[in-house]
Amino acid sequence: MNENTDRLASRERVFALLGAYEKLLTETQAKITNDYYIYDLSLSEIAEQAKISRAAVSEALRTSIDKMEEYDSKLRLVEKAGVTKALLAEALKIQDPGKRLEALTKIAKEIQEDGI
């Protein structure tokens, strides 16, 4: 992978982490992380709005991502969501309505059993 691909993969990972764990961050961590990754604000813009230093913004981002990665290492919600999406995509490709329903029902049961 080249640097741009790595950067894109990293951003996509943060988007997935935010989707799963944003509510577990502090209000400030969530706002700073969203401002940077979702709204594409620079560290300087966030620092100016929050009236804190760029270093504090950088530290909040690092802490937020580390915290979400720690949650995900234990709960694996991002991985489970990816697997579920892939299974759903495959099930929706099934032409026969009865077999499609059977595949979707099986996925629903797995989701219920895993607590996703």
Mean pLDDT, 10 residues at a time, over the chain (116 residues)?
64 94 97 96 97 97 96 93 89 93 90 73
Q: State the pTM of this model.
A: 0.75
The reported pLDDT for the residue numbered 6 is 65
- Nearest-10 crossing angle of helices 43-50, 27-37: 140
The reported pLDDT for the residue numbered 84 is 87
Angle at 58 between CA 53 and CA 60, to 5 degrees: 95
Q: Using the CB atoms, write b or e for 6-38: b if 16+ within 10 Å.
A: eeeeeeeebebbbebbeeebeeebbbbbbbbbe
The reported pLDDT for the residue numbered 3 is 61
The reported pLDDT for the residue numbered 61 is 96
